[in-house]
Copies of this chain bind each other. A is one copy, B any other.
Amino acid sequence: MAKELKIVGKRQPKIDGWERVSGKAKYASDIYLPGMLYGKILRSPHPHAKVVNIDVEKAKALPGVKAILTYKDISAFSWYQAPFRFNTDMPILTDLARFTGDDIAAVAAVDEDRAEEALDLIKVDYHPLPFVLDPEEALKPEAPKIHSQGNIIGGKPFILERGNLEKGFQEADLVYEGRYYTPMLQHVTAEPRVCVAHWDRGKLTVWDSLQYTFGLQAGLAHIFKIPMSKVRVICDFMGGGFGDKVAPERYNVLASILSMKTGHPVRIEFSREENFLATHHRYPTICYLKYGAKKDGTLTAIQAKVIADMGAYCHLDGAFGIMETMKGVYRCPNLKGESYNVYTNKPEGGFMRCVGHPQGQFAQEVHMDIMAEKLGLDPMNFRLKNYARLEDGDQDRKIPFSSNGMEECIRKAAEAFGWGQKWQKPGTSPGPQKRGLGMAIHSCRHGAMSPPSTGMVRINSDGTVNVFTGAADIGGGQKSAMAMIAAEELGIPLETVSVTSADTEVTLDTGGTWGSRQTFSGGTGIKLAAADAKRQLFEIAAKELNTGTENLEVKSGGIYPLGSDKGIPITEVLRKAPATITGRGTGSLPQGVITHCFAAHFVEVEVDTLSGKVRVIRLVAAHDVGKAINLMATENQIEGGAIQGMGFGLTEDQIFDQATGICVNPNLVDYKVFTMKDIPEIQPLIIEPIDPYGPFGAKGVGEPPYSAPAPAIANAIYNAIGVRFTELPINIRSILEGRNKGSKA
């Protein structure tokens, strides 16, 4: 690792940046094919209702309508049991609507207006049923059953135990209990869900805005019982994923069936409203925490009951995603966790940036902040006392971390922020515009290696390189990272590298672009592939230079014996190769360690106690990324994640009318994301402990920046005005209500 890096670690504008900003990039939403039809989905207006009758005759008779599907037409297709899908309770089209927006029918027509009109002409008689929106209500025996097996998914909570909880509480000098709530959120990707499916005589091609094209390929092959070699899924450019686009979903399947039935390509593109009503969501959560600590701050017991409101269908084990934060951020020998995944008559809970961790961390980091104050400790020192060390790792399975930069994150961020100098007693800020400081830490398993980890590198006869990665570039700069890794490993200029990604026909499955895993997982595949290609070059060059392959290096377009200036140009080596040199790489899961990413955020806020407006003044975000492959992209990820995380803390909240079960703010006017005017100065700090297993020491960074801002802000607001908020978002109404509460306190 002593070798000087020439490309990795630099600030590199995205290699496909020009395509992106010039509008030349082809996103799935830019795909228009000859003869293409427009698909639209009819959605339930009721949160819970039986379809008694459905009459499509009038719609069918409308000129330009080419196909109509209802639940009766999809019985031949069984849903795909993807390994990463927790539960398969979702029919492709349903005759029992379980949320407002549930998929009842689909049409394909020659244009969008005709398709909309056809939807209007489908007559559905619904028998409305009682519904439930609150997960704690849904747990009660008298609640309406949303699925036949009851509202607790899996029938019972998952229990996690470590050590002796009772003993832990007995050892504690302080035991503190709290309840925390986080709301439903939408990803608000720049590009809503969209796909174009083209079924052409048993071969199915799908352009999709998708984090995992290979997953959709496998899913569609399974659903349609055709070979995977006859399914091609393409995602070249993508306008954001954030976990909403992990495939396969109903709309992909519906577009494919409609294409099969009509013989035309079919496009289904969600409106912004549909993205709110009928995609995945960050699931609302309720956490009951009871922690015990000694006077010196040592945590002795963690007890957590987590309720994840997974909506009408369950995409993943959301509750355990939350529990991971209680289980792993701090060292604690005694723990009991109880995780409930609960059905409600709301849209499906799914993956969203850092999945359950932001919800869990909001609860835990506010909880810890309260305990620090009660113990009379500086909140930073309380965390430094308890954070899980390198050797702690997985405390249940007793596996250490592969690397751990938590302490450096906390100390460097505190120093950059001026924590020591600025610290004030909570509630002491004078005047109506009150300033306050807060901090939170974060650690999670995102950013680690997980198989499959593959890559392929081809060296053209002029010495330039094509890189093939199955990783979708969802906007995070995955193409650039892969190019930089390949160029660095091969010792060639970055400008000579071209990247092909995520096209299932021509790249290799290296897993989904989620879990911040592609830098580590896809990147390892590419690094090994480049090394394999270099080895082949060296084998030829070694013969020519009468030396061993171990004595060679690449520099200035040639291969040289180490320390010598007499080498041979790569192009000449290539002329002696029997064929185009192609390198393959397959990474494997590091054994005996687990990999986590670590972070510490420090934030200063100003609370206008008159208007209720909270302004974030400054955010210092230190992240252990192992090693930044592209420094610019790493900083961008930290900034982007932190911005979303601030929205989670202060503004975002998808709201349902309690009387009707209808979402009242499915649009970007009423659902408030953080915008440019809200964004404070963000100072990313890159902490590089060099992970021994990552490519050039790198770990991922996409998700962790989301998790720390909300609790740090909540803690800073408390520091400013002396009012504790345990429910998100802390919006203007919260502040105005809390101000009263605070002044009363």
The chain A residues found within 8 Å of chain B, CB to CB, are: 18-19, 22, 24, 200-201, 203, 217-218, 221-222, 227-230, 451-454, 456, 458, 460-462, 464-466, 468, 495-498, 500, 503, 505-506, 508-510, 525, 578-580, 582, 584, 586-588
Contacts and interface: CB of A to CB of B under 8 A. Distances in A.
B466 A229 contact: yes
Given A228-B464, A229-B466, 9 more contacts: A218-B461, A227-B462, A227-B495, A228-B460, A228-B462, A498-B505, A509-B580, A582-B584, A584-B584
Contacts of A452: 578-580
27 contacts: A18-B201, A19-B200, A22-B201, A203-B498, A218-B462, A227-B462, A227-B496, A228-B461, A228-B462, A229-B460, A229-B466, A229-B497, A230-B464, A452-B579, A452-B580, A453-B579, A461-B509, A468-B506, A503-B506, A506-B506, A508-B579, A508-B580, A509-B580, A510-B579, A578-B586, A578-B588, A579-B587
Contacts of A451: 578-579
Nearest to A218: B461
Contacts of A201: 18-19, 22
A26 to B, nearest CB: 11
B464 A227 contact: yes
Contacts of A586: 578-579
Contact of A505 (B466, B495, B508, B578): B466
A509 B458 CA distance: 11
A579 B525 contact: yes
Nearest to A466: B229
Given A230-B498, A464-B230, A466-B229, A508 B458 contact: yes
Given A201-B18, A229-B466, A466-B229, A579 B454 contact: yes
A579 B22 CA distance: 36
Contacts of A453: 579
Contacts of A510: 579
Nearest to A589: B578
A510 B509 CA distance: 24
A456 B495 contact: no
Given A228-B461, A495-B227, A586-B579, A500 B505 contact: yes
A9 B464 CA distance: 40
A473 to B, nearest CB: 16
A448 to B, nearest CB: 16
